[in-house]
A and B are shown apart, each in its own frame.
Chain A
Amino acid sequence: MSQYVPLLVALPLIAAFAMPLVGMLGKTIRNSLAIIAMAGTVTAALLLVYEVLVNGTIIYAFGAFDPSLAIPFDSGGVPIRILFVIDAMSAFMVLTAAIMMFAVVLYSLSSESEQTGQDGYYALLFLMMVGIFGMVTTGDLFNFFVFLEINSLAGAALAAYRINKGLSVEGGLKYAFISTIAGLFFLFAIGMLYGQYNSLNIAYIASVIDLTGLSLVALVLMITSLAMKAGSVPMHFWTPDTYSSAPSSITAILIVSSMASLYAIFRVAFSLYGVTMNVVTIGWIIIILGILSMFIGVSMALPQKDVKRLMAYHSVSQIGYMLVGLGVGVAVLGDTQMMNEFGLVAMEGGIFHIINYALYKGLLFLIAGAVIYRCGTRNLNELGGLGHSMKWTMGFFIIAALAIAGIPPFNGFASKILIYESVFIFNPYISVIAMVVSIMTLASFVKVFHSMFMGPKLPQYAEVKEVPLPMLIGMGLLAALIILFGLFPDLVVNLLIEPAALAFIDQSGYISSVMGGI
């Protein structure tokens, strides 16, 4: 039994609720509360991850005297309480979210310091973290829906938080619409499963599921809605508007929340349905979504002039890599030989890319925020010569840009090579497309680098200074992790990624962790 599981949700929740009250007492006290709550949550998350890696899957039943008891004695062998199931994959997502939360809260302390309405900002930020932590840890479908909604509402409100002559409101409204539609689709799907199997628990449904027509419709609805939330291609149209108009620190968190949706796609595919569905068809559908996302995302990114829109299109393109990597894993699920030969490596690449993507994309958006914070414009044609005055920011940008383009020794290379090599055995063409996309990514970031930092010092930016220290610390942490993950990828893969991939494949292990040895 671990006491850290509820703290993951309870601490940010209490911080969010207390924020409007504490905000009345003054700025310093509110900021210290934000730091304390963030530190507490991150500590709880790290301790939880450590515990999962040492002891294996942790179950937490809410409302029970003994939370490790998933099935009460008088329930007839059915888990009736809300359960949190934290296996290695969930722990990995918790770690990703915790790192990003740490960086973003530190960054926000400076970047938002001159703005109004900070009480609401921090309250919503913590609510969003509640949503993300809940989504990646819960073992209950309806509970997942609730956290999805918390996350979506807080995200939409935050995306529209700085009204910015109506531009941000448009972005926020789009996000709200998409999230609501996705949420409703997901709710329909839950209803279909609940009607058939009389339970909402993922592990219990997985133990009794068979592929009726209704379950198939539910699967399609779930994958569609979550792919919509993750921003994969046919449903990607909200990402450029929302990512570019939200405050930069919030965009970094929106990235994590799209990762949580991506995680849920594969939680549904691997743990809920597993081999009952037609894995080859579903796998190929996910792979095709991934290829389309990769290619369309990057080709839309090339002509952009707004730095944040450009990065938003790149995030569509990067989502494609994860969909391809994990999609290959879905396609060969149940075939032990192919899984051992390349499927597992492809999945490891996809999962490794999740944390790498969150790190370098988060960093890129924070850098864009830093440039906007000092220069007040996002237009690449107007920017220039910042390399003279913002040296640290430029250094971080070089690291992040090389990482996203997949250049060694940065972390993007480590996960992309895993995907290239394994997917090449599965189907060489996909691998070639992925490499071409990577080159196009490099091309577009060379353009950004040149137009933002190179050239002579421009007269209108003569007064521009380096950004304040908390912002640099937030960015520096992410940059340091990018280099570390790039230099010692085998360590990370062995410690975190491989258990996570194995946890996804091992559906019976997931079921028996909740249902006992049935």
Chain B
Amino acid sequence: MQMSRIVRTTADIAFPFILVYGFYIIIHGHLTPGGGFQGGAILASAMLLLLLAYRYHESIRHVRKTMMKTLESGGLLLFAFTALSAMALGAGYFYNWLSPGGVLFGDIVEVGSALANLNTAGLIPIMNLAVGIEVVGAVSVILLALLSGIKEKI
């Protein structure tokens, strides 16, 4: 069923903001409450907004099941390979070789009440990102499966 014009317009306007908020939660996972799972769930709620505001058949042209499955697997693979990457360098599995001093996220955390620095924590933000990608894919696949039973007269 298609929602009213008001709902659709609101959904259009809110969609990018929800996405930005989701990414914010993911990328600040090592500094503030939240992280990959929570941010991913917020991103998936943006997908749900689209699915509910528009007709199912219309919205699945934008939220495609194959794409979401790819995101799910891709996120998980990114996580597993990030963990494995430490072994290629001769350290233990899951060793955080980017922190401190790495190219990315490599700053040393200041002691005391300094401002939070996003560029810290090494592999942890990358893994948060991986979990975020995985969760948005997985939750969207679940939502699509739940909604796929809808029979409607067009």
A residues at B contact (CB < 8 Å): 1, 3, 5-6, 10, 13-14, 17-21, 24, 60-67
Contact = CB atoms under 8 A, between A and B. Distances in A.
Interface in B82-103: 83-84, 87, 91-96
A410 B66 CA distance: 50
B76 interface: yes
A14 B83 CA distance: 11
B80 A10 contact: yes
Contact of A18 (B66, B77, B87, B94): B77
A62 B74 contact: no
Contact of A13 (B69, B72, B80): B80
A66 B91 CA distance: 6
Contacts of A62: 92-94
A67 B66 contact: no
A21 B95 contact: no
B70 interface: yes
A17 B73 contact: yes
Contacts of A66: 91-92
Interface residues of B, number: 19
Nearest to B80: A14
13 contacts: A1-B92, A6-B87, A6-B92, A6-B93, A10-B84, A14-B77, A17-B77, A18-B73, A19-B73, A20-B72, A21-B69, A61-B92, A64-B91
A83 to B, nearest CB: 11
B68 to A, nearest CB: 11
Contacts of B73: 17-21
A9 B70 CA distance: 22
User: Is chain B's interface secondary structure helix, strand, loop, or mixed overall?
Assistant: helix
A44 to B, nearest CB: 12
B66 A63 contact: no
B17 interface: no
B81 interface: yes
Given A17-B76, A18-B77, A67 B92 contact: yes
Nearest to B94: A63
Interface in B39-83: 66, 69-70, 72-74, 76-77, 80-81, 83
A61 B86 CA distance: 13
A64 B95 CA distance: 5
A20 B92 contact: no
Contacts of B72: 20
Contact of B81 (A14, A19, A61): A14
Q: Quick one: which of B81, B87, B91, B92 has the most chain A CB within 10 A? A: B92
Contacts of B76: 17
A14 B74 CA distance: 10
Contacts of A65: 91-92, 95
B95 A63 contact: yes
A67 B77 contact: no
A63 B93 CA distance: 6
A242 to B, nearest CB: 24
Given A6-B87, A24-B66, A17 B80 contact: yes
A3 B77 contact: no
Q: Quick one: which of A6, A14, A17 has the most chain B CB within 10 A? A: A17
B73 to A, nearest CB: 4
Nearest to A123: B73
A61 B93 CA distance: 8
A499 B73 CA distance: 41
A458 to B, nearest CB: 43
Q: Quick one: which of A3, A60, A64 has the most chain B CB within 10 A? A: A64
A20 B83 contact: no
A17 B93 CA distance: 18
B78 to A, nearest CB: 9
A1 B92 CA distance: 9
Contacts of A67: 91-93
Nearest to A119: B69
A315 B81 CA distance: 39
Contacts of B95: 63-65
Given A10-B80, A10-B83, A18-B73, A60 B66 contact: no
B106 to A, nearest CB: 16
A10 B87 CA distance: 11
A63 B96 contact: yes
A64 B69 contact: no
A152 B2 CA distance: 40
Contacts of A1: 92
Contacts of B77: 14, 17-18, 21
A3 B87 contact: yes
Nearest to B96: A63
A64 B80 contact: no
A75 to B, nearest CB: 16
Contacts of A21: 69-70, 73-74, 77
B37 to A, nearest CB: 15
Nearest to A64: B92
A24 B69 CA distance: 10
User: Which 8 A-B residue pairings sit nearest by Cβ, starting from the closest?
Assistant: A6-B93, A67-B92, A17-B76, A63-B94, A21-B73, A65-B91, A64-B92, A62-B94
Contacts of A61: 92
Given A6-B87, A10-B84, A20 B69 contact: yes
A19 B74 CA distance: 11
Q: Quick one: which of B66, B93, B94 has the most chain A CB within 10 A? A: B93
A180 to B, nearest CB: 19
Nearest to A62: B94
Contacts of A3: 87
